Structure 1
Amino acid sequence: MKKAISLLGWIGVIFTIIALVLTLLTTYHFTYVKYFNDYYTLQWSIFGTMMIWAANMMVFRTNFKNIVYPITCVIIACATMFFMYMKVY
């Protein structure tokens, strides 16, 4: 279970990096990729990655002090969802 969550986390990071690069290339008109012409896909990938990493950090947590990092990931994910709800994309 721990290896699966860790693998999903790294897959999310790789997809987020690819989404970031494709969004920047499409935004600055170097190339055109249909789903990356706004920040919507990038926001979804950040949300998913942050939630997976929060779960990953909760599983690998060794003591109660390490609760700050998963909470930070959840706050970033909630902020991303807030901006998506406010249609900032």
Structure 2
Amino acid sequence: MTTFGHLEDTDIDIAIDEREAGERRGMELATRLRMVAAEDPDLAQELVDNLIVALDKAMGGNFRDYLDGDARAAADRVLAPGNSPS
């Protein structure tokens, strides 16, 4: 059996609803991206850029409408015409 990270009591709580389960999956994804960024910042940026493109496609091209500040600027950069993640 492979162990990933340290298990806390709060990690074994059962999600109350689908929204809470989704939030937990999102937090796990963010944690994993931080781990990748610590080891390979360029790879982490590539993963985030690809995620932005995939989310924009899944949302019919309006993903950036749900963002503001730095997140909006990052999405604008990635989704600019002629720019595509490597």
* Band of TM-score, shorter chain: 0.3 to 0.5
Q: Tell me: higher relative CO, structure 1 or 2? Use CA pairs within 8 A at least 6 residues apart.
A: 1
Name the larger-Rg structure. 2
TM-score normalised by the chain length of structure 1:
0.39
- Structure having the higher helix fraction is 1
